[in-house]
Structure formats: structure tokens, C-alpha cells
Amino acid sequence: METSFDNPCVTCSIGQDCCKNLSGLMLTESEYEQHFARHRETMLVEKKGPMYEVSVKDGKPCPYWNDGCEIYTDRPMDCRLFPYCIDSINHDHGRLLLTVNSQTPCPQKSKLLLPEGEVVAMVSSFARGVFGNDSVVEVEVEHETLLTRLKRRVKDLIARTFSSATRPAYRLWRFFRWKIPAQRPALGDQKHKAERRQ
């Protein structure tokens, strides 16, 4: 049994929502084959070019959640990154441009947010794992503002009023709650780049 020291998500005040309602988890091919290929029949799997995205279905949690994460020490990068998440991946003249934000409803966010340098290195490694080691990668880390934090909390409050009878509406809300725009940091201020040239 995991303890809160091993995995702080065990004591999550919103019931491990990100694990139990896993949605759009981004995976490299090797991560998918290692952890989720065997569960393809019980999950929603979408292949986007060389990248995979998996989500739970039929109200079931992540197949590795059993009162704790069974693969916590070897979990995929997208899980390790949380409560940051990759918001967008764009190609621009041979470069990969990835935007990362922390607009997630994690109640332990202040304790779990990784240093930005570590986030940039992790996301850059993920991008090269998906698109190839010779990829030129740029990562931008965006931060929540007071306004976006307030909007998220209002949406979370509204979502908690949904019952199981309104589950489709709840899922629709889950899709759109990630779309709150974050204030982009000033150029050269909070922008971090990690590049590897061919």
C-alpha cells in the first residue's frame, strides 16, 4: 500500500480525479507499448501521428489505479509532469513548439509543481521520444494568473454539482475546462527554450 510520502495523490481531496477520470494522456510509442497496449480493449486509444493518447471509458479508472498507482515509480512522462500539462504541440519551419501550463485543478499543486528547468527538460525529452532525437524543440511554460485561477475554481464548483445523471454534461465540461487561456509571459521573461540542432 502506498503512503502519502510515496505518492502524495493518495491523500488527494478530490478523489484522484486525474487518475480515475484519466483523459487524453499523451504517450510515446514505447510508453504505450509498455503500459497501455495490453489495455487497448478497455480504453479509448487515439494515435496522433507518432504519439498516442489514451482515456478511460465506461466510468472505469486508469487500469493501474488500485487505491494507489501500481506503476507510480515508472509512470509515463505525462503523469510525472502533472499538475503541469502539455497544452499544445505545433510544428513551425522544422521546429517543434510545445506549450505547457499548470491550469489543472490539482489541490496539491503548490507542493507538486516541478522546477521549470526540470519541466522543460522532461517535455523536450518526451518530444524527441515521439518525433525523433534529431528534432529541434522549443518549450514554453505558461503560468496561471489570478483571473484564470478564479475561473477554474468557479468551474470546479459548478462541476461538483453534476450528478451521475448528468455525466455527459460533466464530460463536456471536463473537455472545455482546459481551454481557459493563460496569460502568456513576457518575451524573454518566463520563456524557456531547449533546443537541439541537427
Residue 60 lies in a domain: yes
> What percent of the chain has a predicted confidence (pLDDT) above 90?
41
Looking at the domain assignment, is residue 75 inside a domain? yes
pLDDT digits (tens, 9 = 90+) for 117-156: 999 999 999 999 999 988 899 999 987 777 766 766 676 6
Report the domain count for the chain: 1
Q: Mean pLDDT: which of 28-42, 66-80, 83-97, 181-195 is highest?
A: 28-42
Q: Is residue 46 part of a domain?
A: yes
Domain contains 55: yes
Range of the domain at 8: 1-80
Q: Which residues contact 80 (CB under 8 A, 6 or more apart)?
A: 122
Establish if 111 belongs to a structural domain.
Answer: no
